[in-house]
Structure 1
Amino acid sequence: MRRRDALAGIGAAAATWPAMVHAEGTTRRIGVLMSYREGDDEGRSRLTAFRDSLREAGWVESRNLSLDVRWLAGDSERAAREARALVAQAPDVVLVNGTPGLAALRTLTRTIPIVFVVVTNPVGAGFVESLARPGGNITGFSSFEPEIGGKWLESLKAMTPQLTRVGVLHDPEAAGFLTLLRGTEAAAGRLALHVQLIHARNPAEIQTGIEGFASGGGGALVVLPNPINSVERRSIFALAERHLLPAIYPFAFHARDGGLAAYGFDALELFRRAGPYVARILAGEKPGNLPVQAPTKHGLVLNLNAARAIKLEIPPTFLARADEVIE
């Protein structure tokens, strides 16, 4: 049988949402789109958490499971290419980390089951019908609600009470950006802060954007969650230090890797929870019937080494609020 005929048959079968019962001994195939570079420590940790949770659910590589892992390096064009190549392989399920990969998959298939992890506002972006009943072939684990933007600004103001201006580093093409921006701007007036957007779709724009903002004197940064900001995080740390800019990040690993402060959730938790969802789909459940889940806990991480590097003395009252302090 020719390959295109085989793929057509698979697609037609998937469209009817069968019970997905395979013969004993059959190896199931999972495609994985990771938003990081292949050598990134955080990306590898997330993948390991997913693998471990699959193993606990009875799905073991080289026994009854194979993983096709593709690394997107924070590049939306690469995400589109890798998503297209992955869909052509007709995997049983796809796990996707981040919005660019999910957006690409959404245009390519309405039949292959997809589980997303760390995606902001999946309903507003049109990926699912509702959080309780996603419908279609997509479900997963969302990331941030709009209110988190206010928490980021409050944290910056608590660290630097004299603060009056904040630069928001974001990718204007990232879905979910406007949701987070609304929450940030809503809190800005209450905190007497002026918000300036820093558009950054690639490393060059990150550098010129931060340098341009810093030239205005003083200020601080809110680094929004998106693939390019995570992939280029160490460059952002260096720029913030060079220009003496306090900055807050969305994930704990940002502060552990050298950023000043992070307020958010543990993404590894979501990857550990993704394994059982994939296992349920492999057992025959429909993704559209599995509710979209959200993080269960948020925390504050402070890096005192980064604070000393920009000559910032964190007020004791704010330091006492930290869930984790790196010295």
Structure 2
Amino acid sequence: MRALLFALAASVAAALPVHAENVTVDVTAIVEHPALDAVRDGVKDALAAAGYKEGENLTFVYKSAQGNAATAAQIARQFAGEGPTVIVPISTPSAQAVAAATRDIPIVFSAVSDPVGAQLVKNMDKPGGNITGLSDMSPVAEHIALIKEILPNVKKLGFLYNSGEANSVSLLAALKAEAEKAGVEVIESAATKTAEVQGATRALVGKADAVYIPTDNTIISALESAVGVAEESKLPLFTADTDSVARGAIAALGFNYYDVGKQTGDIVVRVLKGETVGDIPATVAKGTDLVVNKSAATKMGVTLPEAVVARATKVIE
């Protein structure tokens, strides 16, 4: 009888919500823009859904490096010195800075296109050490197919990027490989800081049939500068970042970055609940959205095919 009561009590306890212990999650991003901000918010909401709520049992600290690599390193060292439960760096530069700052504190990165190429992990399936996370490697073959569907005659595609950002360099290599298969030549134009974005876009006028912007934090932070040139020159501009479409790009096929944040937060929860961070596979985020902007297309002299508009997740008029 006593054994039965113990078993019953155990089953009831298992069914009750578990009150999480006090934890600290430090989050940093290389810069503030809608996609990275959405990742941060998704992480926080995933933690809340798992019972880790700010002001109750969670200390949630967020710092932006404001686009400065030296500041990113400073933030990483500060976080490492404070010894939080988990550190969540958003973007490749922030992840590299945090990984260099600590070998002990669990790290769960997010929005890193190529974790292996960025030397954050040696193996996606078995990261090892104190790090794992979520990749947002863009489906570049699908991006080229979308651009060709909208612009069937495109032969030269401008690639606007920061040549010092590891994820953009990885994406350039992937894009070139896929573009060659599609009979498209990639024309590079680099901007190493936001003040150079307008000039780098102008450098593509007359050389490219369209411009493609990857999930590059430097370029996306100054997207309006590129859009202004594109509208003035009737140079169709596409991005890999869906949040950038509302800011003036014609279309993007990419991740919902709030969902990326929630998926990242789910990994953080696993670590908080006791899993060894290096044993959790680093994975590519799930899901893609197609967002189109009819007004932007008109300003850049493009008519969106009805088939593209019909299957879009979101249409901006």
TM-score by length of 1: 0.85
Cα separation, 2, equivalents of 1:178 and 1:257 = 24
CA distance in 2 between partners of 1:45 and 1:126 (Å): 25
- Cα RMSD (Å) of the superposition? 2.0
Summarize deviations over 1:53-108 as a string: whole Å, max 9, x none: 11111111111111121012333232122212222212111011100001111111
How much does 1:41 deviate?
A: 4.5
Q: What is the CA–CA distance in structure 2 between the aligned matches of 1:270 and 1:235, rounded to whole Å? A: 27
What is the CA–CA distance in structure 1 between the aligned matches of 2:268 and 2:208, rounded to whole Å?
A: 47
Q: Is the 8 A contact 1:300 1:324 kept in 2?
A: yes
Q: What is the match of residue 119 of structure 1?
A: 112
Q: Say if 2:106 and 2:130, in contact at 8 Å, map to a contact too.
A: yes
Partner of 2:273: 283
Pairwise mapping of residues 134-213 of structure 1 onto structure 2 (< 5 A)? 134-144=127-137, 148-213=139-204
The residue identity in structure 2 corresponding to 1:126 is Q
Cα distance between partner residues in 2 of 1:130 and 1:273 = 20
Mapped partners of 2:39, 2:219: distance in 1: 17
CA distance in 1, matches of 2:295, 2:249: 9
**Equivalent in the alignment of 1:309:** 299
* Residues 1-327 of structure 1 aligned to structure 2 (within 5 Å): 27-37=22-32, 40-144=33-137, 148-214=139-205, 216=206, 219-327=209-317
Aligned partner of 1:132: which letter? D
In structure 2, stretches of 5+ residues that fail to align are 1-18
8 Å Cα contact 2:117/2:166 also seen in 1:
no
Contact kept, 8 Å, 2:38 with 2:257, in 1: the verdict is no
Distance 1:46 1:178 in 2: 22
| Cα deviation, residue 42, structure 1 | 4.3
Q: State the 4+ residue runs in structure 1 displaced beyond 6 angstroms.
A: none
CA separation of 1:124 and 1:217: change in aligned 2, threshold 3 A: closer
Separation of aligned partners in 1, 2:89 and 2:172: 24
Amino acid at match of 1:131: M
Shift of 1:287: 0.6
Letter in 2 for 1:123: V
Tell me which moved more, 56-65 or 45-54: 45-54
Identity %: 28
For 1:51 and 1:218, locate their aligned partners in 2 and report how far apart those are by CA, in whole Å.
Answer: 41
Structure 1 gap segments, 5+ residues each: 1-23
Distance verdict in 2 for CA 1:75–1:241, change over 3 Å: farther
Q: Give the superposition deviation at 1:111.
A: 0.7
